[in-house]
Structure formats: C-alpha cells, structure tokens
Chains A and B, each alone.
Chain A
C-alpha cells in the first residue's frame, strides 16, 4: 500500500507533511486506543487475574488461591452430577444439535430461494424478521406457545388428536424446545450468507454440468458444496460460537430464569451469571469464562487451519 507523500514534491514539504500526518493519526486514534486499552484489554487480564483469586466483591479480602478455581471446575465436571457439569453438557448439546440442523435448513432454504424470482424478496424479508427481533421478546412468545392447555403447539396437537406434551416443564423435552426457538430465530441470518455465497457461483459451471448430463445431486455435491465452502466454514464458526454463548433464550424460557427443570437447559454463560451476580463467587465464575474463552479460541483456531489448508 505504498503512498505518495504529496503532489508538491519539495523534500522539505514532504518531510513536514509526513510528520504532520503521523501526529494527526495518533490524535485521531487517541480515544479508540484508550478505549481498547481500558475497556477491552485491561478487563481481559483482570478476568484471568480474578480467576486466580477467591474473588467476592462483598468480602473484605480477595485472597490469592492459585489454580483452586480451575481445580473446582475439574472436580465438578468429574462428579456424577453437578450444575456445572449439566451446564457444559447442555451447552455442547446445543452446539452439536443446533448448528448442523440450523445450517442444513438454511442451506435448503437458500437453494430454493435461489431458484425462484417471483416474491423472492418477500420471502427473504420474512425469513429474516426473527433474526432482528429481540431474543427476550420472541422467547417469551415461544414460551407461551409451548404452554400446556392454551399454547398453540398443544392446541395443534389436540386438533390432530395427538397426546398433549409438557414441552418446557419436562427435562427431556425442555432443551429441544429451547433449541427449536434458537434455530428458528437465527436461521434467516444463515440463509442470507448462503444466498450471497450461491450468487457468487458462476452460472457457466452449472451449464457445463448440464451439458455433461450431471444429476441434480451430482451438481450439488461437486459444484455447489465445494464452491460454497467459504460460506459454510464461516457460518460453522460463527454459529458454533453463538451457540456456545447461549444465555437469553434460556433465561426467558425457564422458571425464574434458572435453566430448569432440574438444570436440564442451563448453559455455561447462565452458570457464570448465576455464580457471579447471584452468589458473588466471581473468582470461580471468572475461571468458567476462561474455559469458555478457551473453547471459543479452539473453534477459531480450527477455522484458521481449515481455511489456510484450503488455500494451499
């Protein structure tokens, strides 16, 4: 990105202008630099430091405890049953079931949208509306839809003469019920990204495939999928991270926002919130956030290695 210093050309002018630009660059960046240092970087280190202390804001002292908080995490995870273990297990369930289902549905929808012209803008807006809606507001709507007796889903089940379902009040059904909302809400975003990816695939590839007599499946398998790879990797990472950070839907859809029934829907972030801001065990909660950070970093690193391998 070589820059021509100026158009005037005198060395003296060039020197002072270059220096003036450096000064102005720092003046313009002063507030953002202070912001990032104080609001982003310092708290990151603060969180690591807290995780090494028995940090309780209400106590007089915050004693250093070394790795005790992390040992507690490991200990809780190796117990047969603990809230922390449920939190991690549920979070992984949300990711493992949520991401593939959401992306497959979104890809199918994007491919259908790509085929049609009439009303395609209207469909695109409709699929996209839930994504821009407040999660708390729409999660409460779904909570009502899942209610026994008067909730829409049970009304439909009764109409079809099927047995009524408890949905959010039974441990086995609560997590899939919440997952359904999250998949429903975020799908429009994935559709938009897939659609943009599909539009990038040159039409000539498909024409060539047709001349060669390739079936629809072969066209999909050997043209669409490989060329859509960047969008797929991008969405896999983004959605994995967003499912790992799940919080609001669980708070809105469970009794008192506790991640019940019987901790069957609680997540790592909900666990962090309750430990830090309801029990004030901020040291332990910080160690949980560090574990979450490590998980997210792992996903990002896998993405980077996959992406660079593709280029090679």
Chain B
C-alpha cells in the first residue's frame, strides 16, 4: 500500500473504489449523497460566516439577533489594528513560523538524505532513537523546556524570544522520516556520477537530492507553517509579555477583560484565519495529497 501511495496517483484514479450500485437505485443514492453532503458543507461554512459577519458589525448590533449586519463597518478592524498588539502578534507568528519552517526544510531533508543514502556505523540505533522520540507526547516536555528556557546554556533567557518559541520545532522526527522515504527514490547512479565529476557530498544533497524531492519538501513546509501558525500551548508558556505573543495566545488574551469583546475577538479570529484559508485553497490539492500520503498532522 505504501508503494502505491505517491502523491501523483492517490486521487488520479478517480474510478477505483467507486462501488457500482444497481442502476435503478444508483441515482437515488447519488441524490441523497449530494443532499447530505450539501447540508454538512453548510455546517462547515456557517461558523466562518458568523465570524466574518460579527467582525463587521458595529458594537451595538453584537447582541442583536440579526445574522448579517444592518450597517456593516470596518471599525472593529481599525480598533484591533490600531489599539491592540495584534499587528505585533501577527509579526511574531509569522517570524516563528518562518524560522521553524526554513530550519525544518533544511535539517529534516539533510537528515533524511543521510538516512536514505549513507551507510555508517550506528545508523539504525540513531534512526530508531529519532523515531522513538515521536512517542513521547510534547506535553511531557513542556515543563523541562520551560526550566531549560529560563536557564539556558547560551544567552540570558529564552523566555520571550523568537528562538524560545521556535526551538522545540526546528527539527522534527516525522519530517526526517518523510524525507527519508522520499530520498530513497533518488537514484544511486546519479549520486555516484556526481561523485566521479567531483561534486562534494553537500553538493550532491543540495543540487541533486533536494531538487528531486521538492514535492515532499513543499508538503513538509506547508504542514510545518500551518502547525506553527496555529500552535498554542508552548507559545503560551514561552511568552509572558504581550509584545511577544503569537496570534493564538493573543486572541486568547482578549478575553481577560471583564466582559468579552466579541466583535474584537471575531475580528482577530478573522484576521488570523482568512489569509491562511486563502493559502490552503490555493495549495489544497498539494495539502490534501500530502496528508493522505504521510498522515502528518500540522
């Protein structure tokens, strides 16, 4: 099964697995499928619509029962952008997600390349140790990480720094495993030919293996970016000052005031969700195939 699960053919063969019902009841089955799927699709969209519609409601309309705003306004957006730290949270989330995505793309690919294409003493035990670390839930490491961040080997403190938020995820075992699977497909003859031509070992990785594995690296990058953008529990622990919050932590903090500013929360949520939804729609085929391929969760 693993062999046939390459991104190109998972969804290409549209006819496989389609059960062929009796001709008479087939259209009934299809009709009900469409009906039910449409209802479910509707429940998938409504919360997003509600979020957007609340974000353009004036404050006076929040507690009224109208679903769409009577007098739509962008005041909430002005307020959130000018009067809260949300632009900073945006920047922080972006920087952290970029740092860890770039690092994951490079180091996971490099380690995957080594495990796929090199023989060296200790290869199996090292690989197995990397993989076993997947079984330890990150929740168990939060407290040690926090202690390590307050008293790190390099630098005064990692708390409230970009590195402090990003460090647990700059290399991932799941990504190394994925890259190893992919890099095994790089032909040995190509690497040996490169060696004879005097290409360095790093050159073989950078100019032969990486270009041939771009689809997998792309999928890895997208998952990683999404995962970091939405990460909550570690950024919550690793930050104490509002200027260093990431978006989810910041949105959670909106509520600490006495009554809940629903319009501002929905505006913050919209700002955090909408750009990502656009990215997902553009890359949807890629992402969906990647998930089916790896089961990697963001």
The reply to whether the CB of A26 lies closer than 8 angstroms to some CB of chain B is yes
The reply to whether the CB of A292 lies closer than 8 angstroms to some CB of chain B is yes
From the candidates B50, B126, B287, name the one contacting A141 in the complex (CB within 8 A): B50
B287 partner residues in chain A, CB cutoff 8 A: 128, 132
B83 partner residues in chain A, CB cutoff 8 A: none
Q: How far is the CA of A252 from the CA of B236 in the complex (A)?
A: 12
Q: Which of A65-73, A78-86, A92-100, A187-195 contacts B (4 or more CB under 8 A)?
A: A187-195
**A interface, by DSSP: helix, strand, loop or mixed?**
helix
Q: Which chain A residues (34-74) contact chain B, with CB distance < 8 Å?
A: 35-36, 39-44, 46-47, 50, 57
- B15 engages A203 (CB within 8 Å): yes
| Chain B: interface residue total (CB-CB under 8 A) | 112
Q: How far is the CA of A277 from the CA of B192 in the complex (A)?
A: 54
A199 partner residues in chain B, CB cutoff 8 A: 10-11, 13, 16-17
Chain B residue, CB-CB nearest to A300: B135
B50 partner residues in chain A, CB cutoff 8 A: 141, 144-145, 152
How many Å from the CB of A219 to the closest CB on chain B? 6
- A203 engages B205 (CB within 8 Å): no
Q: Which chain B residues (1-25) contact chain A, with CB distance < 8 Å?
A: 1, 4-5, 10-11, 13-22
- A293 engages B47 (CB within 8 Å): no
Q: How far is the CA of A268 from the CA of B226 in the complex (A)?
A: 25
| Chain A: interface residue total (CB-CB under 8 A) | 109
A15 partner residues in chain B, CB cutoff 8 A: none
A189 partner residues in chain B, CB cutoff 8 A: 291, 297
Enumerate chain B interface residues (CB-CB to A < 8 A): 1, 4-5, 10-11, 13-22, 29-30, 33-34, 36-37, 40-41, 43-48, 50-51, 54, 62-65, 67, 107, 110-111, 113-114, 118-121, 123, 126, 129-130, 133, 135-137, 139-148, 150, 167-168, 170-171, 173, 176, 188-189, 192-193, 195-196, 201-202, 205, 226, 229-230, 232-233, 237, 247-249, 251-252, 255, 262, 265-266, 268-269, 272-273, 276-277, 280-281, 284-285, 287-288, 291-292, 295, 297-298
A-B contact pairs, 24 of them (CB 8 A): A22-B121, A24-B202, A40-B136, A40-B173, A46-B144, A46-B147, A47-B141, A112-B33, A115-B30, A124-B284, A138-B51, A140-B265, A141-B48, A142-B47, A144-B262, A155-B65, A184-B44, A192-B292, A196-B11, A200-B4, A248-B248, A273-B237, A285-B143, A292-B140
